[in-house]
Amino acid sequence: MSDVARWEHFPHQSDVGVRGIGASLAEALAQAALALTAIVTEIERVRAAAAVEIRCRASDPEMLLVEWLDAVIYEMATRRMLFSRYDVRVAGHALEATAWGEPVDVARHEPAVEVKAATMSALRVARRDGLWTAECVVDV
């Protein structure tokens, strides 16, 4: 992970915006997924105990962000897991990732909300001044 990698939330009516920033597209996408996890719980509470492979494809970087976040949301819901670390690789229109996390422990993780889906609202993936930014609003 580079020194510039970080994630943020931004307000959007009743939903929440997630933003990932990184030196590469893959790093920005990984940071956006961390922002997604941070909506549910404090990332520091989630142990990186088990690995889950995630793959998706899309026609452009914006849709790849939506597909990626939806794939993470799907894995969180079906496996009843939270993730605290993401290793993302992007080649063309394909994304392959490993997400590390653990099963939800309600007492320890204290999940705040359930994220339902990534949306097209405020959707933007761009490179500017040498940094990638990947952002969109997620439905909670």
pLDDT in tens, 81-109: 999 999 999 999 999 999 999 999 999 99
For residue 94, list its beta bridge partners: 57, 91
- pTM for this structure? 0.96
The answer for residues whose C-beta is within 8 angstroms of residue 62's C-beta and 6 or more apart is 123, 124, 125, 136
Q: Which CATH number fits domain 6-139: 3.40.50.1100, 3.55.10.10, 3.30.360.10, 3.40.50.880?
A: 3.55.10.10
At 139 the pLDDT is 94
Q: Which residue has the higher pLDDT, 13 or 65?
A: 65
Count other Cβ atoms within 10 Å, centred on residue 123.
16
Question: Does the pLDDT at position 13 exceed 90?
Answer: no
pLDDT in the model for residue 16: 95
As a whole-number percent, the residues of the chain with pLDDT over 70 amount to: 100
